[in-house]
Amino acid sequence: MAVTGMESMIAAVDIGGTRTRVGLFREGELVSRASFPTEGLREVVRALRELLRRAGVRPASIGVAAPAPLDMRRGVVLNCPNLPHWHGVRVVEELTAEFGCEVYLANDATCAAIGELEFGHRARDFVYITWSTGIGGGIVSGGRVVWGKDGQAGEVGHMVLVPQGPHCRCGKRGCLEALASGTGIARAARELLGEELTAAEVVERAREGDHTAQRIISRACEALGQGIGVLWEVVEPEMIVLGGGLTRSWDYLGPMVVSAAREFARTPPRVELTPLGDDVGLYGASALHRHLSYFR
Ligand SMILES: [Zn+2]
């Protein structure tokens, strides 16, 4: 197939803790997608090639959302504690060499915030929180992404809420992530129920009336509500937007989170779920190039 005259589309990649998503966008519309269990960069390249081949297009650019910590200036994913294939991977350099187009890389939760900004509620001032295996975040103020000095701003999961609380994978104790993430819930279940359960399974046990599971879940929801209350006071957003796997049980968890958030803020925080669901990071990665000029 000749390259000249072939349509080009923006490609997006979202490397998640458990699944990786790839997608193709035409004028802001997700027209083709695939997802698979997260492995390494080779699998990303293979999935992107397959998607492009099936659509018969070439990539105009590629936006990549990856878990922190990463070096945005060099385009490198540094060392994800939970992802063994992603230590020191030169994502921008390698994908540029593979596909011959511009490649952009940013923190996954910041990408999700960009997705929300451009395709979700489109609020000008909000904090996005991923409530999933881990807890990440992104801040948008006055319609602009708050990047911070090195592009790592908005790491809300590592706000310490309970000094001397449970150990966090970051090395500190009592972080929001240690208290309320899927990993934190699973660890509490291991300690208090003596079983290996996923966070979703603990939620189910709680729904079914298991008192210990209910205590684990209500503690996690209280911690998240506390974090939301703090962010509400510090950022003065229009809303706090949540996404991530645990929000699938929002009918059960939401009321607990919102009532805790009210306890920790002077005015009732407005909490919304992203309408983009699991694709929020992909949407943001597709629009990433438009927001990097603010990152110096
Ligand atoms: Zn931490």
CA pair distance 5, 11, nearest whole angstrom: 18
If one counts the domains in the chain, the total is 2
pLDDT at 288 over 50: yes
pLDDT at 165 (0 to 100): 96
Residue 116 counted as domain residue: no
CA of 163 to the centre of ligand 1 (A): 11
CA of 27 to the centre of ligand 1 (A): 38
pLDDT at 1 over 50: no
State the average pLDDT over residues 232-242.
Answer: 98
Same domain, 88 and 63: yes
Residue 295 counted as domain residue: no
Same domain, 55 and 155: no
Closest CA to 278 of 12, 10, 9: 12
CA of 289 to the centre of ligand 1 (A): 29
256: confidence class by pLDDT, cuts 50, 70, 90: very high
Does pTM surpass 0.85? yes
Model confidence pLDDT, tens digit, residues 110-141: 999 999 999 999 999 999 999 999 999 999 99
Same domain, 133 and 226: yes
State the average pLDDT over residues 264-280.
Answer: 97
* Neighbouring residues of 263: CB distance < 8 A, sequence distance ≥ 6: 225, 226, 229
Model confidence pLDDT, tens digit, residues 40-59: 999 999 999 999 999 999 99
pLDDT at 41 (0 to 100): 95
From residue 145, give the alpha-carbon distance in Å to each of 67, 104, 109, 130, 188. 17, 15, 11, 16, 34
Percent of the chain with pLDDT over 90: 90
CA of 130 to the centre of ligand 1 (A): 15
CA of 182 to the centre of ligand 1 (A): 14
- Calculate Rg over the CA atoms of the chain: 19
E strand map for 68-225: 70-71, 76-79, 87-90, 102-107, 126-131, 135-141, 144-145
Closest CA to 21 of 40, 31, 10, 35: 35
Ligand 1 is a single-atom ion; what residues have CB below 5 A from it? 158, 168, 170, 172, 175
Same domain, 150 and 222: yes
CA of 29 to the centre of ligand 1 (A): 35
Same domain, 142 and 83: no
CA of 175 to the centre of ligand 1 (A): 5
Same domain, 24 and 168: no
Same domain, 126 and 269: yes
Q: Is 35 exposed, middle or buried (0-12, 13-18, 19+ CB in 10 A)?
A: middle
Residue 113 counted as domain residue: no
Question: Domain range spanning residue 286?
Answer: 8-107+281-290
Same domain, 199 and 234: yes
Which residue type sits at 252?
Answer: Y
Same domain, 59 and 33: yes
Residue corresponding to tokens 């966070």:
199
Same domain, 197 and 250: yes
Who has greater pLDDT, 82 or 59?
A: 59
CA pair distance 150, 83, nearest whole angstrom: 22
Residue 296 counted as domain residue: no
* Neighbouring residues of 43: CB distance < 8 A, sequence distance ≥ 6: 20, 36
* Both structure tokens of 40: 């390494």
* Both structure tokens of 231: 């962010």
Which range has the worst mean pLDDT, 151-165, 191-205, 254-268, 282-296? 282-296
CA of 279 to the centre of ligand 1 (A): 25
CATH number for the domain spanning 186: value is 3.30.420.40
Quickly count: other Cβ atoms within 10 Å of residue 155's Cβ. 21
Same domain, 98 and 178: no
State the average pLDDT over residues 197-225.
Answer: 98
Residue 115 counted as domain residue: no
Same domain, 128 and 101: no
pLDDT at 17 (0 to 100): 82
